Amino acid sequence: MADAHIWWAGLVKPLLRLVFFLSVSLLAANIIEALNWTRGVARVAAPLVQLGHLRDVSGAAFSLAFVSSIAANTMLAESHEKGELSRRELVFANIFNSMPAYFVHLPSMGMLVVSVLGGVGAVYVGLTLAAAVLRTLSVIVFGRIFLPPVPEGCVSCRLEEYRPATWGEAVQRSLQRFRRRMPRILYITVPVYCCVFVLQRSGGFAVVERFMQDHVTFLAFLEPQTLSVVILHIAAEFTPAISAAGALLDSGTIAWREIVLALLAGNVLSTPMRAFRHQFPSYAGIFKPRLALHLIVINQCLRAGSIVAVGVLFFYVTL
């Protein structure tokens, strides 16, 4: 009877709660994305463009990136091929889109993380958002230093053909995405959550702890139990890492601070794999292969550096 209570309280009940909140959050996030509610933030593009000595096409791409990063990069690529943007300006404009590109995935990613990790997830999302904002602001600062002033252009002229979906279209599109994405999430989340629970009960993390003490010295600032989160972040996708973090957090054996640090570390260390899996196929279809690789390397290096910066600040602030 005691074992049944442990399995119910430690695995079944938290897992049912997790699946429920994942379902609700994913559906709500899909509706928000379809309605393009985040596009309102793009109104700040014009003054930022002028401040950073960027051209109007960079501002238009910045605004468009709140809807589609692929469409934004296509606009930049066409302008570069026409000679409107130099190579340096293209690099600056591409990095400038870091914040809106993040906002495109923020509803689904944010709700997924918060539904699993609660307030701890909100802290992680806030830190990664701060890193994206830091990258965009750095472009404004360095653009003002290294780019010559340009005449003020019309940022909104190129965006008239893009409109947000109606409520009916948003609901229909969201249901289609939900049916397609939810089974994949469950196929990953449920087994990972169960495996982490079994490893905790069987002492599997003690083996990981001994291995870390002997071999993984550069991650010594993390609790050994959180290494599974880092490994899943690198080897798999984001959802398994969040599932493992949720299982560790629910066990009550890991402090919230360690979960956040593990997710940040996994985010940084998964940079090469993320670039290869997700960014290069898209960029290679828009830019010339050599230019695509150049943009990805710069973009991902700055992305990793910005996350390290906010992570170090978080580490010392929460000591």
What lies within 8 Å, CB to CB, of 294 at 6+ separation is 91
Q: Is 61 exposed, middle or buried (0-12, 13-18, 19+ CB in 10 A)?
A: buried
Token pair belonging to 216: 């993984």
Residue whose tokens read 């593009």: 45
Residue among 194, 182, 186 nearest 247 (CA): 194
Mean pLDDT of 62-80: 80
- HEC sequence for 131-183: HHHHHHHHHHHHHHHHCCCCCCCCCHHHHCCCCCCCHHHHHHHHHHHHHHHHH
| Lowest pLDDT segment from 38-47, 69-78, 97-106, 176-185 | 38-47
CA angle, corner 303, sides to 36 and 57, nearest 5?
50
Highest mean pLDDT among 12-16, 181-185, 219-223, 233-237: 12-16
Q: Average the pLDDT over each of 118-132, 195-209, 237-251, 272-286 and give the range with the smallest value.
A: 195-209
Using CA atoms, how far apart are residues 33 and 120, in angstroms rounded to an integer? 23
> DSSP letter at 255?
-
Averaged over 19-47, what is the pLDDT? 63
Question: Which residue, 86, 45, 91, is CA-closest to 65?
Answer: 45
Burial class (CB in 10 A: 0-12, 13-18, 19+), 111: buried
84-93, 198-207, 260-269 — which is least confidently predicted? 198-207
pLDDT of residue 32: 59
Start-to-end CA span in the chain (Å): 41
pLDDT of 208 above 50: yes
Helix (H, G, I), strand (E, B) or coil at 67: coil
319 has a pLDDT exceeding 90: no
128 pLDDT higher than 90: yes
Please tell me whether residue 1 adopts helix, strand or coil conformation.
coil
pLDDT at 27 over 80: no
CA pair distance 165, 170, nearest whole angstrom: 6
Predicted pLDDT at 164: 57
- What the block records as the tokens of 46 is 């014009």
